[in-house]
Amino acid sequence: MLLGFTALLSSCGNQGDSKSSSNGALSSNAAEKVYVAPGEHDEFYAFMSGGYSGNITVYGLPSGRMFKEIPVFSQFPTSGYGYSEETKPMLNTSFGFVPWDDSHHPDISQTNGELDGRWIFINGNNTPRIARVSLSTFETEEIIEIPNSAGNHSSSFITENTEYVVAGTRFSVPVPQRDMPINEYKGNFKGSLSFISVAPDNGRLNLEFQLTMPGFNYDLSHPGRGKSHGWFFFTTYNTEEANSLMEVNSSQNDKDFIAAINWKKVEAYVKNGGGTMMPAEYAHNVYDEHTHTATSTMKKEVLTVNPLDVPGAVFFLPTPKSPHGCDVDPSGQYIIGNGKLSADLTVHSFDKMIAAIEGKKFDGEAYGIPILKFEDVLAGVVKSGGLGPLHTEFDGKGNAYTTFFISSEVVKWKLGTWEVLDRQPTFYSVGHLMIPGGNSAKPFGKYVVAMNKITKDRYLPTGPEMEHSAQIYDISGDKMELIYDFPTHGEPHYAAGIPAELLAPKSKKIYRLDENKHPYAVLTPADARVERDGNEVHVYMSTIRSHFTPDNIEGVKVGDKVYFHITNHEQDFDVPHGFAMIGQNTSELLVMPGQTKTSLWEPKKPGVWPFYCTDFCSALHQEMQGYVRVSPAGSNVPLTYSLGE
């Protein structure tokens, strides 16, 4: 009976069988490998994209413990991100306030091809955006919208010195957008590949140029590195340029392409005045750590480049068959394209590609872009025997690991000989996988984390909706060993891992009060006050264990807009205070030591209304509360405020 039940729960192809055998193989030794004793720290951070949560979650490896959710594209009531007056501008776009997105591919900044731990970037898929998150504050510092783009999926990958973060369009669209019949897509829609520069000192983003490519779907991308530094590779599908019943119509061609872009050439062309400035509207939002405030600027134009105007910069490498992942090995020699509908993996050789380009060995062209001959650029084929290959990561020891969605497995194979060395089942339907640094010149090949799309029986059921599931394999030996699985929040697509020792020492503990430049900050409780400006009431409030200054306010009227500007005067690590007001149409705020945040309240009814601290900050946290007296509109109760009177 028990067997039957298990089979029922995991009735997903052959997954049921592999599951029982593998679970039986787990030894106490596996437990030791993931056990991080109380009070001890993990060896790696893992930053997982949240998918439809729009955010990033931070986990420890190997323990699988979740440390934090970093709000990026989604309002986050837990901290007040996107609800506080200071952070609302972060979610501004050319479509107005967009409080959500679908985040897929985090990538950590690099220097000389190695992780440097300054920032992590992530894409917003739905309303195309790229975000930069500080890895000292773990806060989103900047979001730039990408015009002329849609389904911003082949993003956000960075070049080996973080010169650019790259964003490619998954859906081609009319450029510029206009009213036209959908069935005139073919030949008329365009695919924009955007190159956004990253300022080396402060990380500021600037959309430098957009390559206006043929109207294919640009699915994933990776930078060249080492010898191929200066190039960027994008998988394409729908080279058929179909616009309906895509599952059939975009799977007609035996081969689609990997687009190879010599971005250094395009950069030089642009620096010499090349390209066409075109009108475009896109938001650029920047958070300032000293004013604790974001500003949003609407940009008005973008530099576009027609690939045909930069000879020698763009080529197509034929790749079977609707490829998804596009991965480059640590040496920069091999470019791997995983055809979703193919059983084999295609590996292209960078050297062969260069030789073919120099020998002008073309096999026709697409919209004027030269197509190289498949055989001329092919380094090898991995005959894996798996089904539905998606993504590949590298361990830095000459091995590659590829996920197979349909056959639910990770396959380890050897670069250069293309032989399959090992395969392990995943539970179930794996998408991306991640080795810390596995997308850099220097991977830390100790663990691989598989991120699965389906959970089913891995955990106690939680109704129809289950969190997704990730699995950790020890890859330090010849064979992969499954050592742990853990639930992940949202839908992690890609993830980025980094040794803890590269980040932990730089992690910020407090914001210094004496560096607080917020225009509404109160730097001492003596400056706390309440001011009226027409129907706006500004409360300059301070907090310290365990009171607000002031905590009694009178003279507020129905119809007022009350701004509580709350400065946390603590200068101690991990002592936030919260703020919440009854009936407020926004979330609570969590204010970190030394920080100022603003909460808007529009009182609707006369009465005496309490507010309180939402974070259990001290033994007298429950005493951390106050009252606002609200009088009817037009009343003449004078504005007063006090503490301890």
Residues that bind ligand CUA (CB under 6 A): 546, 577, 613, 615-617, 621, 624
| CA–CA distance, 395 with 228 (Å, rounded to integer) | 19
Q: With respect to ligand CUA, which residue has the nearer C-beta, 234 or 511?
A: 511
Min dist CB 564 to ligand CUA, Å, is: 14
Binders of ligand RUQ in range 415-444 (CB under 6 A): 431-432
Min dist CB 546 to ligand CUA, Å, is: 6
Min dist CB 325 to ligand RUQ, Å, is: 6
Site string for ligand RUQ, 615-644 (x = CB under 6 A): ------------------------------
Q: Which does 105 bind (CB under 5 to 8 A by kind): ligand RUQ, ligand CUA, none?
A: ligand RUQ
Burial of 619 from C-beta contacts in 10 A (0-12 / 13-18 / 19+)? exposed
| CA–CA distance, 526 with 515 (Å, rounded to integer) | 18
Q: With respect to ligand CUA, which residue has the nearer C-beta, 546 or 571?
A: 546
Q: Which does 431 bind (CB under 5 to 8 A by kind): ligand CUA, ligand RUQ, none?
A: ligand RUQ
When asked if residue 104 is in the footprint of ligand RUQ (CB under 6 A), the reply is yes
User: By CB under 6 A, how many residues form the interface with ligand RUQ?
Assistant: 11
Q: With respect to ligand RUQ, which residue has the nearer C-beta, 113 or 431?
A: 431
Min dist CB 179 to ligand RUQ, Å, is: 30
| 3-state SS track over 261-304 | EEHHHHHHHHHCCCCEEEEEEEEEEEEECCCCEEEEEEEEEEEE
Residue with tokens 């964003």: 167
Q: With respect to ligand RUQ, which residue has the nearer C-beta, 113 or 124?
A: 124
When asked if residue 518 is in the footprint of ligand RUQ (CB under 6 A), the reply is no
Q: Which does 621 bind (CB under 5 to 8 A by kind): ligand RUQ, ligand CUA, none?
A: ligand CUA
| Of 493, 547, 569, 577, the one binding ligand RUQ by CB under 6 A | 493
Q: Which does 615 bind (CB under 5 to 8 A by kind): ligand CUA, ligand RUQ, none?
A: ligand CUA
| CA–CA distance, 627 with 547 (Å, rounded to integer) | 12
DSSP state of 103: B
| CA–CA distance, 147 with 210 (Å, rounded to integer) | 9
Token pair in block for residue 470: 């990730």
Quick check: 598 and 86 in contact, CB under 8 A?
yes
Binders of ligand RUQ in range 318-337 (CB under 6 A): 324
Q: Please state, as a whole number, how many other Cβ atoms lie within 10 Å of the Cβ of residue 3.
A: 9
Q: With respect to ligand CUA, which residue has the nearer C-beta, 105 or 577?
A: 577
| Of 377, 390, 449, 581, the one binding ligand RUQ by CB under 6 A | 390
Min dist CB 53 to ligand RUQ, Å, is: 14
The kind and range of the H/E element at 335 are: strand 334-339
When asked if residue 105 is in the footprint of ligand RUQ (CB under 6 A), the reply is yes
| Of 401, 494, 540, 564, the one binding ligand RUQ by CB under 6 A | 494
Q: Which residue is nearest to ligand RUQ (CB)?
A: 431
Secondary-structure breakdown of the chain: helix, strand, coil percentages, each rounded to the nearest 5: 15, 45, 45
Min dist CB 625 to ligand CUA, Å, is: 9
Q: With respect to ligand RUQ, which residue has the nearer C-beta, 107 or 160?
A: 107
| CA–CA distance, 461 with 151 (Å, rounded to integer) | 32
Write the DSSP string, 199-240.
Answer: -TTT--EEEEEEEEEES-EEEEEEE--GGGTTEEEEEEE-TT
Non-local CB neighbours of 158 within 8 Å, separated by 6+ positions: 107, 109, 110, 121, 164, 165, 166, 198, 223
Judged by the rule CB under 6 A, the positions of this chain that interact with ligand RUQ are: 104-105, 153, 220, 324, 390-391, 431-432, 493-494
